[in-house]
Amino acid sequence: MGQTITEKILESHADEKVIPGKIINAKLDIIMCHDVTTPPAISMLQKLGKDRVFDRKKIIVTPDHFIPNKDIQSAELAKRLREWARKHEIENYYEVGNHGVCHAILPEQGHVLPGQVIVGADSHTCTYGALGAFSTGIGSTDIAYAIATGKLWFRVPESMLFTVNGTLGKGVYSKDLIIHVISRIGVDGALYKAMEFCGKAMEKLSTEARMTVTNMAIEAGAKSGIIAPDNETKNYLKKRAKEKFVMLNSDEDAKYSEKIDVDAGELEPLVACPSLPSNVKKASKLKDIKIDQAYLGSCTNGRIEDLRVAARIIKGERIKKGTRMIVVPATTEVYKQANKEGLIDDFIAFGAAVSTPTCGACLGGHMGILAAGERCISSTNRNFVGRMGHVKSEVYLASPATVAASAIEGRITDPRDYL
């Protein structure tokens, strides 16, 4: 019996034969640390007298959730992280001013490579599967063990195969694709499984667009999301990769728990309505929904490609009176590139506020949280009750194009009206 790409990667890091359901110990290539979940891990290690790092080159640190610090508590968390990174001479520490949302900055800076096993104490660590890595989120206790030993236990996940053929139509993007998939299988439809994506439509997607797909695998309950590396992956890594990498693929006779076909050509601009990522409706059917805020950013859709899409739609337009828009480039490099291309000026002329990179309002942290009764259309990944602020606020998830078009009209708008 053949193997899936996920099984091949885990087997190469476990030095033993793997099958779905088996508990293994695997060597780790990269550990991602940020300002919320890493300080508790540091405290555990210090309390146990095991304050050490297994390899300072393989631990990537970026403060991002409450950056710039919003209050004394978040400042203390960032200080702990900063001092720990300095003490252990962590090579890749991204300080404010040269920082970014973790799941955007790691691939951007060449830390993510095909064939790796990567963990991070953040649920959206599954993003890195877009480059053909096995990557998954873990808790603070596990991150402490990983930091000290460079290994971690895993239950080898079963794989689900999503074959996406056809071509995405005008105004339809990878965000529409992934929320369509989640709407079909539900928020627990891939519980503890690896969601593997393939097909002609996936091959046409840029690496950045693929990251949007794997980023939201966790919203279907998945352990990971993954896309086999190809020429697009190699081109993305050409000037980024810091070392050699292996490109693996699933065998033709690999076993999957389920196979699902998706016709990309049948998709329209979609919106995930409150309060589940699976509560999906067509944007064209939601034109009566007025919004107070449009939010463009996050680890899902805050990359330069996303900002370009939105900027093309709002250029020459003016934000609807009574509506506000917040634009958050995902990393410092994205911010600089957007500035170089004149996108920042376009957003400001439109009437939007442009923020420094941060997770910010995505998790209801700061810089754009919602009051009771307010509605936000957002390019983020979650819309649970209270996710972006008050429990009586509402979050609608959509592509950067739909977010931008909605900001023009002050209500949910099909972006094809502006393309």
Place 211 in a pLDDT band, splitting at 50, 70 and 90: very high
Q: What is the tens place of the pLDDT at every residue in 51-84?
A: 999 999 999 999 999 999 999 999 999 999 999 9
Place 15 in a pLDDT band, splitting at 50, 70 and 90: confident
The stretch 319-330 carries a mean pLDDT of 98
Same domain, 47 and 69: yes
Same domain, 71 and 169: yes
Extract the tokens encoding 52: 């050490």
Nearest-CA neighbor of 350 among 290, 310, 398?
310
Same domain, 202 and 294: no
Query: Which domain, by its residues, includes 372?
Result: 271-418
Q: What is the CATH classification number for the domain harbouring 351?
A: 3.30.499.10
Q: What is the tens place of the pLDDT at every residue in 225-251?
A: 999 999 999 999 999 998 999 999 999
Per-residue pLDDT at 1 exceeds 90 = no
Residue 197 near residue 295 (C-beta atoms within 8 A): no
Same domain, 11 and 83: yes
Cis amide leading into 68 (omega within 30): yes
Q: Average model confidence (pLDDT) for the chain?
A: 97
Quote the percentage of the chain above a pLDDT of 70: 100
pLDDT of residue 291: 98
Same domain, 310 and 229: no
Q: What is the tens place of the pLDDT at every residue in 359-415?
A: 999 999 999 999 999 999 999 999 999 999 999 999 999 999 999 999 999 999 999
Same domain, 213 and 128: yes
Number of domains in the chain: 2
Same domain, 164 and 281: no
Same domain, 258 and 276: no
pLDDT of residue 16: 95
Q: Which of 215, 240, 262 is the last residue of a domain?
A: 262
Same domain, 297 and 234: no
What is the distance, to the nearest Å, from the Cα of residue 317 to the centroid of all Cα atoms in its chain? 29
pLDDT of residue 195: 98
Same domain, 257 and 277: no
Same domain, 248 and 159: yes
Cα-based angle 303, 334, 377 (whole degrees, multiple of 5): 40
Per-residue pLDDT at 158 exceeds 90 = yes
Place 46 in a pLDDT band, splitting at 50, 70 and 90: very high
The stretch 269-289 carries a mean pLDDT of 98
Nearest-CA neighbor of 172 among 265, 297, 263?
265
The stretch 277-287 carries a mean pLDDT of 98
Q: What is the tens place of the pLDDT at every residue in 300-322?
A: 999 999 999 999 999 999 999 99
Q: Which of 262, 297, 324 is the last residue of a domain?
A: 262
Q: Which of 244, 262, 280 is the last residue of a domain?
A: 262
Same domain, 293 and 230: no
